[in-house]
A and B are shown apart, each in its own frame.
Chain A
């Protein structure tokens, strides 16, 4: 099991489009994934779960992945956050 704190740096935060990208990305891995933020834990492979977390710019979430390809999944997710969800800013 891996855990890492990720900062939401894109301007719009984890809004619908960014949530969709994260869920689609993690859906490609076998490992289970959870996002923990603001005292809530949601399934990171669930579009509604991630949207409902509604993490805004500047907030930090904890990503927990657990499974056979956890390292690759964590790397891919961390890179998506760091790339501003490919939104430019």
Chain B
């Protein structure tokens, strides 16, 4: 019989599949005792499981890369700390040794006790850490049963219905072909939700009745947009689903055709879509999708991987491959942007600054380490012999900083030429516009640059004084603030007047929801993640720039987010 349930949409998308219900693991564990004298062996079994869980977490920590690395990494560290917690481990040992409970039952008791304590906390944020404790204990429990949490057999094509889901588990489930996930608990702000969105996996959370109402094998229609779950959908539902599915397929196909299409607006203006990249795969992907070049190559990843600082030669090989991989299309290499949230393992950046976002980061750090900086600049200049290279300098707030970088580049170039190394005659030097001082006093900093690249992530953070990784305030972090739009407009205007190529390389540039806004503000160069390139290109091709720009007055006059959103709708 058809039944409609509701959850909170946490990741969009539509899916139809067989329900796979996973009962909360711990709830079923019965009181179980072990014979006297078996305690030490049972404790050993438990500790082996804890070791396995620790190994899994460490492997995942090593595997997470890219944009999610920081967020997921912090979260995995927290799980590691819980796993190492002496309170957790010692009380488990005690329960087994003195009460002769089985390891399973001891885990269940410990979980119940901790959950009850967390549930009693007043602060909603701290209360929600309960999920972390549950995930860690669940991981140990699974290791005890030699069934890795996510390795449910035959889950391909199914909709997983469960109580909660850990982020690491989500990515494994996607690989195994799960089509959607519904959880009884959780929030749309959780790490899992963020990850599901980047995996394009529909996710509904907070569907309280789901585990109780849905049975294994039920046919489920999941709408990640509206939050609807239809159990045993009827003929009308299925027709609707098929129609929407066809639309999605058509959309994807038309996106596919866009690979070889230009990024020209309806009124004939060419928009340059460049790619942000940090790995060789990203570069290959960007080239195949027809990116006009690499607009931002983040070199810090080279420095974050190993425990040693990469040499000039090692850097040259990476930059050279990158330049050759783009076959003549321009590549913008950004000098080291370590510090703040990006620490390295070689010990270059300070780790105990009281206020890292305002500390020794970006070009400030590079200028404080001239030897290291020179070797990076030399490697970049040498790579310029293989194709068009631009050098981009992050976190510039003072004119002198850029002057010093330019002097260093000039001296490295002379040095290389004296050594008989090939260097391109012209290597453009640009600045990131992300420190508000540079964005406001354009005549001071930008005037000295060959091109500008607006880093909206940091610019928004500094303009609004909001750390978006801080859960307590993150919900207010949005580029849709009158101050942000005004600054963007000013910078774009300045670039246009002075003939300085100006791009945006923050996440905003890759968000299809913001494409028309940026076009209206006058942006003609986007640097975005390759995954978003086709979608943004599609919007560009459908847009009439002249018409959009005529309407930008209303956008710029809006006094708050609601006003900006209303003006956006009218674009």
Contact = CB atoms under 8 A, between A and B. Distances in A.
4 pairs of A and B residues whose beta carbons are closest in the complex: A46-B87, A47-B81, A88-B355, A46-B85
A8 interface: no
B120 to A, nearest CB: 9
A3 interface: no
B86 to A, nearest CB: 6
A13 B114 CA distance: 21
B85 A47 contact: yes
B88 interface: yes
A20 B82 CA distance: 9
Interface string A16-42: 110010011001000000000000001
A84 interface: yes
A20 B85 CA distance: 11
B354 A83 contact: yes
Contact of B352 (A16, A45, A49, A86): A86
Contacts of B472: 11-12, 15
Interface string B96-131: 000000000000000000100110011101100100
A20 B77 contact: yes
B522 to A, nearest CB: 34
A52 B78 contact: no
A24 B81 contact: yes
A54 interface: yes
Contact of B82 (A47, A56, A84): A47
B123 A54 contact: yes
Contact of A46 (B77, B86, B122): B86
B81 A43 contact: no
A65 to B, nearest CB: 15
B86 A43 contact: yes
A24 B82 CA distance: 11
A84 B354 contact: yes
B387 interface: no
Interface string A43-59: 10111110110101000
B356 A45 contact: no
Interface in B349-381: 352-358
A87 B469 CA distance: 11
A42 B78 CA distance: 18
Chain A CB within 10 A, most for which of B78, B81, B352, B467:
B81
Contacts of B133: 48
Interface residues of B, number: 30
Contacts, number: 62
Contacts of A20: 77-78, 81
Interface in B130-161: 133
Nearest to B353: A86
Interface residues of A, number: 25
Given A54-B126, A88-B355, A48 B85 contact: yes
Nearest to A42: B87
Interface of B: 74, 77-78, 81-82, 84-88, 114, 117-118, 121-123, 125-126, 129, 133, 352-358, 467, 470, 472
Contacts of B123: 15, 54, 56
Nearest to A79: B352
Contact of A48 (B82, B125, B353): B82
A29 B178 CA distance: 45
A20 to B, nearest CB: 6
A86 B129 contact: no
Contacts of A86: 352-356
A15 B82 contact: no
Contacts of A24: 81
Given A54-B121, A83-B354, A86-B354, A48 B78 contact: no
B146 to A, nearest CB: 26
A54 B121 CA distance: 8
A17 B81 CA distance: 11
Interface in A55-89: 56, 83-84, 86-88
A51 B129 contact: yes
A34 to B, nearest CB: 12
A61 to B, nearest CB: 15
Chain A CB within 10 A, most for which of B87, B122, B125, B470:
B87
Contacts of B358: 88
B129 A16 contact: yes
A9 to B, nearest CB: 12
Nearest to A13: B123
Nearest to B354: A83
B356 to A, nearest CB: 7
Nearest to B122: A54
Contacts of A12: 470, 472
A88 B114 contact: no
A24 B80 CA distance: 11
Given A47-B78, A86-B356, 9 more contacts: A16-B78, A16-B129, A23-B85, A27-B84, A48-B82, A48-B88, A51-B129, A86-B355, A88-B357
A23 B87 CA distance: 12
Nearest to A46: B87
B131 to A, nearest CB: 11
Given A84-B354, A86-B354, A88-B354, A52 B117 contact: yes
A86 B354 CA distance: 5
A51 B128 CA distance: 11
B126 A15 contact: yes
Contacts of B114: 48
Contacts of A15: 123, 125-126, 472
A87 B354 CA distance: 7
A80 to B, nearest CB: 9
Contacts of B118: 52
A56 B122 CA distance: 11
A72 B85 CA distance: 22
Contacts of B85: 23, 46-49
A52 B354 contact: no
A43 B87 CA distance: 8
11 contacts: A15-B123, A15-B125, A16-B125, A17-B74, A46-B88, A47-B78, A48-B85, A51-B129, A87-B470, A88-B355, A88-B358
